[in-house]
Structure 1
Amino acid sequence: GQKNGQSDRKKNCPLCQIYAVSDELIGRFVLVLVLVLVFVLVLEAFEPLSNPSTRTSTRTSTI
């Protein structure tokens, strides 16, 4: 039900449209950030399996 309310508000004022667009952009930006974070974490997890020599002692101790 929230999306319907948001669309109604968008129609009422032009400012709300701008906010809606910025929210969409921020949402996409956050989504990309999360995907990159997950990708990096997965790479970090599989890194020692592929080549353990690149993994340093300090990085393994922090995890």
Structure 2
Amino acid sequence: MNSALLLAFGLVLVIEGVLPLLAPRAWKQTFQRMVEMKDGQLRFIGLASVLVGLLIVLLVY
């Protein structure tokens, strides 16, 4: 596997772990709100996240 891909995966895990580490109650509340969302809303959030991520990658690389 490419080392850049492993580095990116590691950074995702670090970033994803910050909120539950520092503010577990807020993390749980956020998850509860997400469970209550409709599928279309979650898909839109996922699409927006992918597009912002791609934009960041294109700007940095």
TM class by shorter chain equals 0.3 to 0.5
Greater C-alpha radius of gyration: 1
TM-score, with normalisation over the residues of structure 1? 0.39
